Amino acid sequence: METGNAPPKKRVGLILSGGAARGFAHIGLLRVLERAGITVDVIAGTSMGAILGAFYASGHTADDIYRIAKSVTWRDLIDLSLHNGLLKGLKLHAFLASHLPETFGELQTPLVVATTDLESGEEVFIFEGDLITAVRASSCFPGAFEPVTFNGRTLADGGIVNNLPINAVSFLHANFTIAGDATVPRRATLSNPSDEGRWWERMMATFRLERRNPMAQTLLRATDIMGSILTELQYTMHPADLRVQYPMPHLNIESFWALDEIVAIGEWSALQVFVRAGLLPEEALGEVAPPPAVKAFSESTHPPHQGEAAEPTHPALPKALKAKPRAPFKTRG
């Protein structure tokens, strides 16, 4: 029987930011969560974070999600509209529908998906009803995908307004928050993708965003900078108890070709944070070698992105808190 002096039960909220290809780092964070035996009670996500959060909320493990991501030929999800030259998103919809349940109510873990209302400019949190359409709306990167009509609203990528929706888990009573932040940093080095990854650049050229076009490059970089500043402003208002940032300034939202490297950086970064917070023993640091890019990462050049924990505002999670077994969602044929 609970007494009046009993500490409140920890209700863990996991927040996964947008970041397109950079968001694959969240798979590494999910691996570390599982290694630490932490039960996630609520998940919130934007864009790629909404996609990966939906997979995790449906019962897929981190390794399940990695295998699915590895098996996807991302160019096969491209379906250009002849009307306006934007991606229709129907192939993405079909892909999501083949791996996820139809509604939020069928998820094992409550999920909140962040989107943006293009007419009012408001952030819109969706946590019930049509799961696939909500996740697709959250992933509609402006200028690339057509916006989605959902419950009478015209919705697009949640990252336009809130790329790291920590405030989204509060109304579902999370009292300990862990945030994975794949936002493109203000200071970044443009990547030089392999031939495998150049298809994305060719696709973007369809929207007249030629990589040789200085104006287009400036526009894209300006969007990254504004997104980074907005995320920091949001974070000052709604900080997380633990924040995992991924040191990969050489990789951008188009770096789908670097899946393995991005996941490795995510896992290594999360390990540093969890060990510092006392959620894993120091010996865990020896289990994963730092990826080459992280080893070469300069502390003096990029101080804000060290994968460090924010100052916890709550005590660390009790060691006795163990994750419940996850029953995988059965994919539909």
Residue pLDDT, tens place only, 144-196: 788 899 999 999 999 999 999 999 998 788 999 999 999 877 555 544 444 44
Task: Please return the burial class of 281, using the count of CB atoms within 10 Å of its CB with bins 0-12, 13-18 and 19+.
Answer: exposed
Packing angle, helices 25-36 and 259-276, rounded to 10: 40
Domain that includes residue 268, residue range: 12-188+197-297
327 located within any domain:
no
- Return the percentage of the chain with pLDDT > 70, whole number: 70
pTM (2 decimals)?
0.81
266: CATH: 3.40.1090.10
52 located within any domain:
yes
pLDDT bucket at 254, cuts 50 / 70 / 90:
confident
Active site residues: 47, 157
132 located within any domain:
yes
130 located within any domain:
yes
119 located within any domain:
yes
Task: Please return the burial class of 318, using the count of CB atoms within 10 Å of its CB with bins 0-12, 13-18 and 19+.
Answer: exposed
209 CB-near residues (< 8 Å, 6+ apart): 143, 216, 219, 220
Number of domains in the chain: 1
What does the pLDDT read at residue 297? 54
136 located within any domain:
yes
Q: Is the pLDDT of residue 320 over 80?
A: no
What does the pLDDT read at residue 1? 46
Residue pLDDT, tens place only, 90-129: 889 999 999 999 999 999 999 999 999 999 999 999 999 9
More confident residue, 12 or 252: 12
162 located within any domain:
yes
